[in-house]
Structure 1
Amino acid sequence: MTSPLPRLSPRALALVVLLFSACVLGLAPILVRLTETGPAAAGFWRFAFALPLLTILARRELGGVATPSKWALLAGLFFALDLSFWHYGIVMTSVANATVLCNLTPVVVTLFGWFVLKETPHRLFLVAVALAMGGAFAMAAGADGGQGTNPLLGDLFSLSVAVWYSGYFLAVKAARATAGAMRITFWATLLGAPLLLLVALGLGEDILPATVAGWGACVAMGIMHVFGQGGVAWALGRLPASVTAVTILIQPVVAGLLGWLVFGETLTPIQAVGGALVLAAVVLAQRSAQTKTGAGNAPAPAS
């Protein structure tokens, strides 16, 4: 008889879900370019098509949709700002640059935890953050400067997203102490949708896709949002925010490969080295967290 497959520990399962979610979110910059709408409008449709499925999933959780906490609403505000700036960055610079620069979140999250929450990071984790940032900058610096409509401004927009995404991470982490992942993602999405629509209308963007293919990209973004962002929110209830922020940097590696395959964007040797550094950083971040857990500092998982 064949022996049964070993069961994953709660932490290992959370890591698997996080890695899968990060890979799913790597589709985002590709789909944004295929929506045939303005950048903020693409974010609106992402939220709009995600809401029906999120409503069903949130109702199935303990307590249902219920009333949102202030942290869930704050997460929605930060995420609307995140998508507004990031989607413009995607149009103005390369897929790899936009995805990498906006994911400098580990630095902000780690510094916040260190100086505000007084959570001293493990030395190995600091090495992981340094490797991740080195890999991120290598991927950005190694990209073909001619990609996008305004590479410099696009890079600046994408860089600013690190602040908004960090705020989203920390707000979701706080909200997960009392609520399920899908409820938080539902309320953050419900708040973010009208904000993104107002931005799109205010900037005079094209709101409606021109073809069936454009609508298909919008629907795909909604599905991606549920499984990608919902998975990240679920993992944040079981993993430290700082470790999650480093691990999700697999997203730009996936996005860079897809940009090369779909749009023919150049993937230079320097970018390949940067991607390898990011992957090494993810491994080190996980090892540092396991070392700290072994010392008796493991965080209690949220429900």
Structure 2
Amino acid sequence: MAPALWGTTYLTTTLYLPEDRPLLAATLRALPAGVLLLVLSRRLPQGQWWWKSWVLGVLNIGAFFALLFIAAYRLPGGVAAIIGGIQPLVVAILASRVLHERLTARSVIAGATGVFGVCLIVLQTQARLDAIGILAALAGTLSMASGIVLSKKWGQPAPPLTTTAWQLITGGLTLLIIMLVLEGLPTTPLTPVNLMGYTYLSVAGTAFAYVMWFRGMARLPASTTAFLGLLSPVVAILIGWVIAGEVLTPTQAVGTLIVLGSITAAIITKAAKPPHVEEIPIEARTV
């Protein structure tokens, strides 16, 4: 559910938010959602979870949101999200080193297949590809991948609603400081359409989606979680085609199918071999 909701971010940004205000969009998406969840949970971090929440908040929220909106403002609707196709490979490599999750050939092949699908979509698009936008999308993917692995390594000391509130607050405060320094406050009042867009992103696309995301992350291997994230670019490219009238070429359609196939292969592989159950060698079974 969470990645599907995130896939609507790009269209919402281009249609409903004011132009050239990526840091304002990131701040108003994160901070109000964090305040809402903190009011509902009514619990603050304790001990080392003050700094851990800040680190995770920057990786999963602060840096990721800022880079995400920079990419969304500078790239076509589906392209920025599709670049996230490298995330499963990054997470799989990091998880094998940090979490000691097994890096299987099937996971690598599925990840590489997803990247190939990404290339078919991005490299063949007729829209103008902005270099800064692509770099921002790549950096945001690396930030989120690091946050996924660290979140899995450190665990969750409280229910998902509570830990999500901590990360949104810390990430939102970091974004607020950066926004005030680099962008400043808005010089023109926000329109009702702008407010509607910010409200949707904050409540549905952030508060609700991130509670679901961290709840699922606690119950799944890190690499599986990363593959599910590819649903976001699939939704983004399809919404851009259906609603925004963006061109979807046959090559892009094939790339989208390939990405969906890589997600399916990764999930089936993980489901068939639980991450914490060691397979008994054939020789031992024979004896």
Match of 1:51?
Answer: 34
Q: Which of 56, 59, 67 lines up with 1:85 in the alignment?
A: 67
Q: 1:204 to 1:285 in 2, by over 3 A?
A: same
Give runs of aligned pairs for residues 1-303 of structure 1, distance below 5 A: 20-33=1-14, 34-36=16-18, 38-59=21-42, 64-67=43-46, 68-78=49-59, 79-146=61-128, 151-204=130-183, 207=186, 210-223=190-203, 224-293=205-274, 296-297=277-278
Give how far 1:89 is off.
Answer: 0.9
> Is this contact kept in 2: 1:114–1:120, CA < 8 A?
yes
Measure, in 1, the Cα distance between the counterparts of 2:271 and 2:17: 41
Cα-to-partner distance string for 1:178-199 (whole Å, 9 max, x where unaligned): 3321222111110111221222
Measure, in 2, the Cα distance between the counterparts of 1:203 and 1:193: 15
Aligned length: 272
Measure, in 2, the Cα distance between the counterparts of 1:118 and 1:225: 30
Measure, in 2, the Cα distance between the counterparts of 1:157 and 1:295: 35
Structure 2 length as normaliser, TM-score?
A: 0.86
Give how far 1:209 is off.
Answer: 5.5
Structure 1 length as normaliser, TM-score?
A: 0.82
Measure, in 1, the Cα distance between the counterparts of 2:226 and 2:266: 10
SS of 1:104's partner is helix
Structure 2 counterpart of 1:101, one-letter code: I
Mean Cα deviation higher: 276-285 or 165-174: 165-174
Give how far 1:250 is off.
Answer: 0.8
> Is this contact kept in 1: 2:23–2:183, CA < 8 A?
no
Structure 2 counterpart of 1:89, one-letter code: A
Give how far 1:56 is off.
Answer: 4.2
Q: Percent identity?
A: 23
RMSD of aligned Cα (Å)? 2.2
Measure, in 2, the Cα distance between the counterparts of 1:297 and 1:230: 31
Q: Which runs of 5+ in 1 are unaligned?
A: 1-19, 299-303
